């Protein structure tokens, strides 16, 4: 394996993710999740701003806001963060010796390694970014992968080793 593939396998030990059925003898080479910044950008920042606004609103009043109302408003403000975290927890990117997969909840999309024409990323080394797998069926995209360049290098190596042989 290349140093890039070694770095990924050292950080995240490959494991068959729940909900993805593997064929007999299929080996998981890499299993990743989105970068943690995705749920924070989608739900975290707005939720935290709303909670801060509610805190300022409730403590800046001469008559205190009833705790029940404050709790309900806080729960509503945190709902986007909770929804983003649930979406984040159900998304998994898997590379096996036979295919590239994207699992989002129960939906599993995949492309066989021999069908992959190109593996692309435009992320700088060590930074999160997208990894695109181009094939005749279209493009399968792993969004916001931590260290996208290393993941793309490991995927290229897998395509060369298992997909072209």
pLDDT of amino acid 41:
62
Percentage above 70 pLDDT, the chain:
79
DSSP-assigned letters across all residues of 62-124: SSPPPHHHHHHHHHHHHHHHHHHHHHHHTEEEEEESSEEEEEETTEEEEEEGGGEEEEE--PP
Predicted TM-score (pTM) above 0.85: no
Rounded to an integer, what is the distance from CA 54 to the centroid of its chain?
31
Report whether pLDDT(92) > 90: no
Report whether pLDDT(15) > 70: no
* Minimum mean pLDDT range among 54-58, 112-116, 159-163: 54-58
Is residue 59 very low, low, confident or very high in pLDDT (cuts 50, 70, 90)? confident
Report whether pLDDT(36) > 70: no
Fold of the domain spanning 3-34+92-163: PH-domain like (2.30.29)
Q: Are 160 and 18 in contact (CB under 8 A)?
A: no
- In the block, which residue shows the tokens 């190109």? 118
Q: Where are the domains of the chain?
A: 3-34+92-163, 38-87
Phi-psi region of 147 (alpha: psi -120 to 50; beta: other; left: phi over 0): left
């Amino acid at each position: 394996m290349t140093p890039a593939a070694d770095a990924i396998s050292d950080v995240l030990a490959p494991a068959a993710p729940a909900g993805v059925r593997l064929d007999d003898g299929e080996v998981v080479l890499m299993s990743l999740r989105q970068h943690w910044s995705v749920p924070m950008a989608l739900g975290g920042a707005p939720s935290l701003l709303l909670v801060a606004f509610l805190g300022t609103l409730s403590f800046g009043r001469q008559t205190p806001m009833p705790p029940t109302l404050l709790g309900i408003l806080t729960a509503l403000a945190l709902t986007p963060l909770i929804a983003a975290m649930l979406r984040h927890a159900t998304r998994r990117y898997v590379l096996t010796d036979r295919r590239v997969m994207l699992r989002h909840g129960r939906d599993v999309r995949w492309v066989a390694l021999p069908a992959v024409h190109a593996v692309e990323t435009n992320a700088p080394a060590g930074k999160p970014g997208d990894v695109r797998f181009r094939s005749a069926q279209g493009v399968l995209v792993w969004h916001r992968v931590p260290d996208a360049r290393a993941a793309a290098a490991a995927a290229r190596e897998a395509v060369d080793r298992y997909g072209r042989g």
